[in-house]
Amino acid sequence: MAEVSKSLNIPQIEKLRGATNYDTWRSITTTFLDIMGVWDLVIGKSPKPKASDTTAEASWVRLSHCAKDFILVNIDGGLMPLVSTTSDAPTAWAKLEEKFNRKTPTSRHSLLKTILTLSCSNKREIGTYIEKYNELWQRLLERTSEATFRSRSSDSISKDSLEGVLLPLASSEVAKGVFFLTSLPSTLDNVVDCHKR
> Can you give the chain as a three-state secondary structure string?
CHHHHHHCCCCCCCCECCCCCHHHHHHHHHHHHHHCCCHHHHCCCCCCCCCCCHHHHHHHHHHHHHHHHHHHHCECHHHHHHHHCCCCHHHHHHHHHHHHCCCCHHHHHHHHHHHHHCCCCCHHHHHHHHHHHHHHHHHHHHHHHHHHHHHHHCCCCCCCCHHHHHHHHHHCHHHHHHHHHHCCCHHHHHHHHHHHC
Whats the size of the chain, residue-wise? Answer: 197
User: How confident is the model at residue 191, as a pLDDT?
Assistant: 62
d(CA 108, CA 147): 10
User: How confident is the model at residue 114, as a pLDDT?
Assistant: 86
**Higher per-residue confidence, 155 vs 36:** 36
Q: Is the pLDDT of residue 194 over 60?
A: no
Mean of pLDDT values over 105-134: 83
Q: Is the pLDDT of residue 61 over 50?
A: yes
Q: Sorting pLDDT into bands at 50, 70 and 90, what band is 187?
A: confident
Is pTM beyond 0.85? Reply is no
Mean of pLDDT values over 40-61: 91
Q: Sorting pLDDT into bands at 50, 70 and 90, what band is 19?
A: confident
Supply the mean pLDDT for the chain. Answer: 81
Percent share of the chain, pLDDT over 90: 34
* Most confidently modeled range among 27-36, 62-71, 118-127: 62-71
Q: Is the pLDDT of residue 4 over 90?
A: no
Q: Which of 90-99, 143-152, 180-189 has the lowest mean pLDDT?
A: 143-152
Provide φ and ψ at 75, rounded to 5°: -125, 155
Paired strand residues for 16: 75
Mean of pLDDT values over 83-101: 90
User: How confident is the model at residue 41, as a pLDDT?
Assistant: 95
Q: Is the pLDDT of residue 192 over 60?
A: no
User: How confident is the model at residue 108, as a pLDDT?
Assistant: 76
Q: Is the pLDDT of residue 154 over 60?
A: no
